Structure 1
């Protein structure tokens, strides 16, 4: 397409047309020119705009500005996120708390007694949170219950209040679905989400394993609980089932006592940046009899999961 043709296409509504042909010597290799266009100032709400045009293969293709490109990239991310999210949720039944298929066992209520934390009058007036790092219950991985005198200002009820971090699901290159941070998750020991599933006995899970094998279900999403019980998120669970293994993880599991019951929370080991994958080390945490190849690609990768 000639410059005149371009001028003919663009003459309506534009004040001037300038062609930068400094790369004429490269035209044989790639017929591309950059055209700077100034909108007619008589048009309302319009100012100077630099627009790149690619005439290669006789096509008039607008080259988006950095802002437009970034906006489009974010739109694509959101679209992919929605697609991956919906497809991932089709694989299991989503639940927000554990479902017990065995008799529930609770510890003595004396073990999770009020912690004795205090706040000054000024701290209470300014709505500062109580039960911080010096909380006696927190020190032994027990969450405060509804008897805590700070009520909604108690910061040691993260699992019971489901104070989940913002996360999303994306497809990874080699590991299938993965869980990613939607925004920065700041600091160490920050609560991400509780790992939930069906609480079953070891005998029940042995039966399930055989059934999963017949159904050609390759991946089991299981963690050990207290005693010989297991949390099985294969058929029922939440987004934590998509957390992949890494030999250099940024998150870890912690067992906490909440209202007398053993619960498993996922916590940060360090700050996790937005759109960074959330990972943990499966060793001694997940059930599986055979080691699997590891694709975490971290500098200290052992090459195998569970080796």
Structure 2
């Protein structure tokens, strides 16, 4: 963790990692989508660390999360998220999308829906500038590694930023 050139704090790798290498689990408090909607209203005025886990739950890393909550947004990310079953429970795992060099900041595509995104996410090239306060990030269930990008989901279930 360190100061980001993009927005506030950022998450950085200590050692170089290879493509598809596991970086860690996105951890935090397991809450319902309804609770996430309530908290999201408060977080809209600060930083949001909500990450959709599945149709039932959201991970809120605001108070109980690890350093992966500081991964900033990019439309050209070097990491991707997957929901993986561990002991029968869904977990959000973060993987390298490509080789990441020592000390490099890690980025995720928060999959903003253009209708509900911040203006800085519409830049034609790499949208890694500006504040990074998502309403809620999205992970993709276990699936083929050929498509590491996470498809946008519906506005409900706390998947997009609120304005």
Aligned to 1:183: 15
**After superposition, what is the alpha-carbon deviation per residue over 1:81-136, rounded to whole angstroms, capped at 9, x for unaligned?**
xxxxxxxxxxxxxxxxxxxxxxxxxxxxxxxxxxxxxxxxxxxxxxxxxxxxxxxx
- 1:25-174 to 2 correspondences below 5 Å: 169-174=1-6
Residue pair 1:294, 1:301 contacting (<8 A) in 2 also: no
More helix by share: 1
1:243 pairs with one of 68, 71, 74: 71
CA distance in 2, matches of 1:266, 1:199: 17
C-alpha distance 256-278 of structure 1, shift in aligned 2 (>3 A): same
Residue pair 2:36, 2:50 contacting (<8 A) in 1 also: no
C-alpha distance 276-195 of structure 1, shift in aligned 2 (>3 A): same
Work out the number of aligned pairs and report it: 130
Residue pair 1:222, 1:230 contacting (<8 A) in 2 also: yes
Aligned to 1:198: 29
CA distance in 2, matches of 1:291, 1:202: 19
What is the TM-score normalised by the length of structure 1? 0.38
Residue pair 2:27, 2:65 contacting (<8 A) in 1 also: yes
CA distance in 1, matches of 2:38, 2:105: 33
Which portions of structure 1, spanning 4 or more consecutive aligned residues, are displaced by more than 3 angstroms? Answer: 210-213, 302-307
- Relative contact order (C-alpha < 8 Å, sep 6+): which is higher? 2
**After superposition, what is the alpha-carbon deviation per residue over 1:193-239, rounded to whole angstroms, capped at 9, x for unaligned?**
100111111111222233445xx4x2211111122311111122000
- 1:216-235 to 2 correspondences below 5 Å: 216=45, 218-235=46-63
Q: Structure 1: which 5+ residue stretches go unaligned?
A: 1-168
CA distance in 2, matches of 1:206, 1:301: 29
Aligned to 1:291: 117
Cα offset for 1:293? 4.1
The DSSP-based 3-state class of the residue aligned with 2:25 is strand
CA distance in 1, matches of 2:36, 2:74: 25
Bigger CA radius of gyration: 1
Cα offset for 1:181? 1.1
